[in-house]
A and B are shown apart, each in its own frame.
Chain A
């Protein structure tokens, strides 16, 4: 993907996700090292709130639907090439987004949803959407 975009979508969405690029909300940066997620220290969870978690999910769906305009386009060709083998397609998503660490149960759920999506392009978008919005992916990226 190109590393630049003049589309305001990027700065608007990064601000909504509480991580506006180069503009931390205070001199203490985006989150405090003392912030706790439950009983454990989890600094990043200071900006992972019920509001931003949904905004992050919607960021992914907007991105997948071409929300960046012509600045950033997704090349789905390799994934479409795997079809009709949906298992191979999901494995490719797993390898590219999660380094192959997706659990079997997560893979099964994604495959069930992929089976319900009628068009091939929607099958691929479904697999990418469910992977990129999963906590399993988000905590590592």
Chain B
């Protein structure tokens, strides 16, 4: 490796062109296009977000419509459904019969599983994005402060973070849900309050290394205030790890919500949650009945979405931070 000062001017320009991205968004998309796994992750996430956004127009059936005669139908069932269809013009006609297809089968109340999965994407996306935003809102400032000011402040903040880490995964969230009761806003609180420490830790490490870099020292020598250094130098340079962390971090709350809802402490009806669908399948259809579709498909939905965020996040890390290549 040549030293920087030995390089010719053109070489130096090449080097800085590599380090300083001309258009970060273009670089990111080019990088994703070149990596099949990251691209697969992006495709999954696009489908997921699309389903969540346009759920009411995509669902083949009403996800809340119960239809007891058609309950527990296996996938690809084509049946005749009788629906109440009363109109003033034709008082004699009370019901209409129509042919319907349940692609992924129906649950214990005759509701279409495919429609419920599509609709359930909304809650997962909402929880994932919301929890990550709250975690960042707590973790980024605390990590910045700890890393930038160091000493006593650092010790206090990081000891508090340590105090949160001693509780096993999900146990603290479970305890909070138990005491506060089930419900969406409590899921937010429980998952956000237990997950900010990871964000704070990474931002702190990033700040610590940026703080000592030449350009920050130079800026300080020129008389820049702490505020200016943090907002002009530290934060913009920490954007790449933040983006990676946000992408990878979406998987955790989605899994967490599913687990809490599976245990009955999360979403409550009529909220449609993938975790709750699995728990309902388990409680209404004993395993020995062999109604595998009721728990398999919602589980696959969770699995693929979590995988999508992991694949895309890993890809982004590769693209934005070449130092991490090959690891993990």
Is B a genuine binding partner of A?
Answer: no
Give me the interface of B with A, judged by CB distance under 8 Å.
none
